[in-house]
Every structure is written in C-alpha cells, then in structure tokens.
C-alpha cells in the first residue's frame, strides 16, 4: 500500500493541507552492481526509460545521476526494491538500502522503495515477443537498455498506484 503524506508528515485529504505537494518529477532507478537503469515520469503520469548509468565506477554513476536530477529537476526518486518472491528482504535488499542511503545523503531528495519483483523478466519477455535482443545479448546487457526499461516498469507501477491512491482519497 502506498503511503501518501504531506512534506510536513501529515496524512489526510491532500488538498486540505496547505503544505501538500505532489512531486510530479520522478526518477526511477533499477539498481545493479554495474549498471543503474533510469527512467523519468512527470505530471503526465507516464514513465519513460532514460539512458542508463553505465559508467565504470560508482563515482561516475553518481555523477550521471546528479546530471539527470539537475536536468530533469527531479523532485523524488523511486528505487526498485528487490524483495524475495515470498515478500521477505534478502541480501540484495540490504545492498539497495545502502545505495538508497548514499542517494539520500548526496541529493537530499525523498526516496521511495517500490517492489521490483519480475520487472526485468517482464521487460525481457516483452522484448522477446517483439523479436528484439534481450539480456542474453552482451551488447544489450552492457548498454543498460533493459535495466532502464525495467526502471520504467517500476516507476510506472509506482505512478499508477499513486494515482489510484489520490483518486481514492478524493472520492
């Protein structure tokens, strides 16, 4: 369930809170050890893939993030959270927690965790149906294209849930 609250931490009818702001410039991230898939969503409510952060170092990938955040005027970040199939957190979730901590400390933006189970699998299945190369293709894997498409799936799910929550709140 998505938690909607104002920047002051108050919950309730969003437009009755004068501090309420719905950040409509989101950066979606599909975190990986070597590549970070990226996507962007704004007030239209559609997530689109962006070029992945594929630099050879964490420092280089962080600089890539900084550039995207500044260029897109990102207000909030949505990071894919790798839960196990039974919903528990495993070692990868702890790795993502450390990544999120670094992102929060560096950029001082609100970060949301979003279930990413099967997002990459969904992208690979969709590409295969279209006859396009998948992660098995080394060039495609290195480009980060599939990672960014997975980031778009993660962000789109988040945006759809946020829209439903707002609609329900106003009903």
Contacts of 58 (CB under 8 A, 6+ apart): none
Q: Describe the chain by its helix, strand, coil percentages, rounded to 5.
A: 45, 20, 35
Domain ranges of the chain: 22-170
Say which residue, 24 or 54, is predicted with more confidence: 54
Does the pLDDT value for residue 66 go beyond 90? yes
Q: Mind listing the pLDDT tens digit for each residue in 104-127?
A: 999 999 999 988 766 565 656 665
The domain 22-170 belongs to what CATH superfamily?
YqgF/RNase H-like domain (3.30.420.140)
Does the pLDDT value for residue 133 go beyond 70? no
pTM: 0.75
Strand ranges in the chain using DSSP code E only, listed in sequence order: 26-30, 36-41, 47-53, 76-81, 110-115
Give the single-character DSSP code of 125: H
Q: Which of 157, 86, 159 is nearest to 116 (CA)?
A: 157
Q: Which helix (H) or strand (E) holds 64?
A: helix 58-72
Contact 152, 167 (CB under 8 A): no
Q: Which of 97-101, 140-144, 151-155 has the weakest average pLDDT?
A: 140-144
**Which pLDDT value is given to residue 146?**
82
With cut-offs at 50, 70 and 90, classify the pLDDT of residue 44: confident
Contacts of 60 (CB under 8 A, 6+ apart): 53
Give the single-character DSSP code of 129: H
Does the pLDDT value for residue 29 go beyond 80? yes
Q: In the chain, what percentage of residues exceed pLDDT 90?
A: 47
């Amino acid at each position: 369930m998505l938690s909607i609250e104002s920047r002051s931490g108050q919950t309730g009818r969003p437009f009755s809170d004068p501090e309420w702001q719905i950040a409509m410039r989101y950066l979606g991230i599909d975190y990986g050890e070597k590549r970070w898939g990226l996507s962007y969503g704004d007030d239209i409510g559609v997530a689109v893939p962006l070029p992945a952060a594929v630099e050879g170092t964490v420092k280089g990938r962080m600089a890539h993030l900084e550039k995207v955040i500044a260029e897109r005027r990102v207000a909030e970040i949505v990071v894919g959270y790798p839960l196990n199939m039974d919903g528990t957190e495993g070692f990868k979730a702890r790795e993502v927690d450390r990544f999120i901590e670094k992102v929060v400390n560096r950029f001082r933006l609100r970060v949301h965790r979003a279930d990413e189970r099967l997002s990459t699998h969904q992208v690979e299945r969709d590409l295969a149906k279209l006859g396009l190369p998948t992660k098995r293709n080394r060039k495609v894997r290195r480009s980060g294209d599939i990672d960014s498409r997975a980031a778009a799936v993660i962000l789109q799910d988040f945006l759809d849930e946020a829209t439903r929550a707002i609609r329900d709140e106003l009903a």
